[in-house]
Structure 1
């Protein structure tokens, strides 16, 4: 009881903000910063684009809140246990998340590498191999030293990204319509509403669930860095912080790009092309810094979840007792593998890799956590007898008692 009380007192407002900033940093990655994700999932929706962006971030943060609450309240020790508890009494579905997670780690880190190579080549002329080497090295060293460093590093990066993103997107929104080939956002929204009305609403809903779905690759990382959030209120507070940060940044990005569609066309770097058209060198320099932070933050949060999962394997423990060396081996493996996948290009990774994984995540993550998971969390918090049975069954790896309890 003493340990639990201490942990609850330790979950301060600053800690809640820090965990929320980690989630924002994971979202604000290469696809977001380049504008590629916004272009694929929101710009085509017209006037529904900004509204869908807000709804998407609400789905995303509510899902992560339920995941962290289930993990922390039941004192679970792995994301496999988390999904066993979510799906119980049905067996085997947790392996679908395993498949989703492995594929999405490859996609997310590949998008980071591809985005770094494309942006640095376009902005500075830096060679592709040099760009991926720099970003890979930073991700490598920030990942291998544990959850504390990840939480601190991504919090600072998240604050910097949010401040710079608001500055960049504010200028872009203001400049819309003042450069040939662009238009004011209000005019664009009004024209699209008049032309299409609500015809794109079904597509908007699908895009919201798909986008929030593939972002859930960060669940393994969030349940580790969010361990100090031991109460439902802690988890909720943290995710409301994150919702505000994510919704503001994504909505502003969508609004800005809607005014510059005639400039960037089909380029894989819509934001960079739009900023160059504004004729403000300082803005493109600020963007380059923001982009690198975004790439690194997503790379760190994504790779860390994979590293935490495999660095504790018995086979690696036989190789070395050093947790740092084991983490280094796993991290190096996934970064090298992702470099190979990155050769297919950023747009293809986001459109196809993220898209299909997002469809899977709707069925195995978003809907289950927001329905069954939420009900189980509420019952666990209020029903002492149910809570006692669940705690007892989680002591058994086979979870036979868990299934029996869930069936009642």
Structure 2
């Protein structure tokens, strides 16, 4: 019974890590939903579900391969999965992950810092420094704390989203119906093909940080737990993204698509403005920190695994903490600098291409190999891998 409870807990935790990685400042603000779900007729309600189903299928195959071959940092995974073409494909994925890491974490600093300034009036630089220390603390304390933090943050975010959107969806229900009918009446074949393609690209963009999920795949242990985890993650992410989409749809005729923070517009134009405005700020802050932590943790695992590749176990264990701290500090300072010195627009020019690149580098190859199958290695215990991740 105890092992069953532990397995179920790991499934929920993995689903929450997926959620908190995807739920960044763009999701919290509502801009991501508008950019990818609106403008394609009925895909305003199809995209939130379709994108999560696509991600769920791809993540299942990714985690299945990781567990069977016992590779829980993304470079080891890509080198094995893409062999004998790993020198090309692994480096292509390295580009995808580092680009996502740089821009998403930089945006986490920028949006989180600005949000705290707006809420409390404290200096922006101080706010971003606090966010950096939070990211560093959670990252270097190991996989267990990251998983616990993801669970706790997810519960807070989900509760906040429900408090914001459920009352306002009810309040704007007639507008939601009429706006959706307008979308349906204007639907063309171009909307359908364009909407499907946009959904596929969004799903691919969210698969780009798969390196953030791999360190936590070991805790799942078995194939049945992978299925449970991705089903839970699909249901949680799809339900919440659909809820946000419906809430924004209620104000589409009032020009919400042109606002900077659509979620805040839902609150100010809806009900409970005084209560819900601070909640929006808290959600943006939590979403920013959680995304940054998950991405930084993924790159720390990858770099540390590379540094200790030729070392004995005792040396690995003695240096793992200090190496993890050093790598985390370097990447946090790098992304903090991007946020401070206005380099986000420069990097963002390549960000829109991440979805296209990931589609061909990860999504299509994983889908093909996942369906066709791969030769399984000899089964061995995962205890050592899990122990290393928890150090």
Q: TM-score, normalised by structure 1?
A: 0.82
Look up the match of 2:35. Answer: 40
Look up the match of 1:293. Answer: 286
Q: Tell me which moved more, 103-112 or 304-313.
A: 304-313
Inter-partner Cα distance in structure 2 for 1:252 and 1:98: 33
| Count of aligned pairs between the two proteins | 373
Measure how far apart 1:298 and its partner are.
0.9
Look up the match of 1:310. Answer: 303
Are 1:95 and 2:87 counterparts? no
Q: Tell me which moved more, 142-151 or 124-133.
A: 124-133
Look up the match of 1:17. Answer: 12
Inter-partner Cα distance in structure 2 for 1:341 and 1:234: 38
Look up the match of 1:207. Answer: 198
Cα displacement string for residues 280-313 of structure 1 (whole angstroms, at most 9, x for unaligned residues): 2111122222222211111111110011112345
Inter-partner Cα distance in structure 2 for 1:46 and 1:115: 30
1:203/1:125 Cα in 2 relative to 1: closer, same or farther (>3 Å)?
A: farther
The DSSP-based 3-state class of the residue aligned with 1:167 is helix
The DSSP-based 3-state class of the residue aligned with 2:260 is coil
Cα displacement string for residues 46-77 of structure 1 (whole angstroms, at most 9, x for unaligned residues): 43122011100111121111111101012225
1:120/1:77 Cα in 2 relative to 1: closer, same or farther (>3 Å)?
A: closer
Q: Is the 8 A contact 2:208 2:355 kept in 1?
A: no
Measure how far apart 1:259 and its partner are.
2.0
Look up the match of 1:172. Answer: 168
Look up the match of 2:133. Answer: 137
Measure how far apart 1:23 and its partner are.
0.8
Are 1:217 and 2:237 counterparts? no
Cα displacement string for residues 118-158 of structure 1 (whole angstroms, at most 9, x for unaligned residues): 43344444432233122222111111111111111101111
Are 1:337 and 2:329 counterparts? no
Cα displacement string for residues 296-355 of structure 1 (whole angstroms, at most 9, x for unaligned residues): 11111111001111234549999x954333222211221222123335879958974432
Q: Is the 8 A contact 1:24 1:242 kept in 2?
A: yes
Measure how far apart 1:8 and its partner are.
8.3
The DSSP-based 3-state class of the residue aligned with 1:196 is coil
1:297/1:349 Cα in 2 relative to 1: closer, same or farther (>3 Å)?
A: farther
Q: Is the 8 A contact 1:69 1:230 kept in 2?
A: no
Q: Is the 8 A contact 2:103 2:348 kept in 1?
A: no
Inter-partner Cα distance in structure 1 for 2:355 and 2:178: 32
Inter-partner Cα distance in structure 2 for 1:346 and 1:212: 26
Look up the match of 2:389. Answer: none
Inter-partner Cα distance in structure 1 for 2:341 and 2:207: 23
Look up the match of 2:384. Answer: none
Inter-partner Cα distance in structure 1 for 2:170 and 2:346: 31
Look up the match of 1:252. Answer: 243
1:195/1:344 Cα in 2 relative to 1: closer, same or farther (>3 Å)?
A: farther
Inter-partner Cα distance in structure 1 for 2:30 and 2:367: 28
Inter-partner Cα distance in structure 2 for 1:139 and 1:312: 20
Measure how far apart 1:358 and its partner are.
0.8
**Equivalent residues in 2 for 1:59-74, closer than 5 Å:** 59-74=54-69
Measure how far apart 1:88 and its partner are.
3.0
Inter-partner Cα distance in structure 2 for 1:328 and 1:54: 38
Q: TM-score, normalised by structure 2?
A: 0.86
Inter-partner Cα distance in structure 2 for 1:312 and 1:90: 21
Are 1:156 and 2:149 counterparts? no
Are 1:369 and 2:366 counterparts? yes
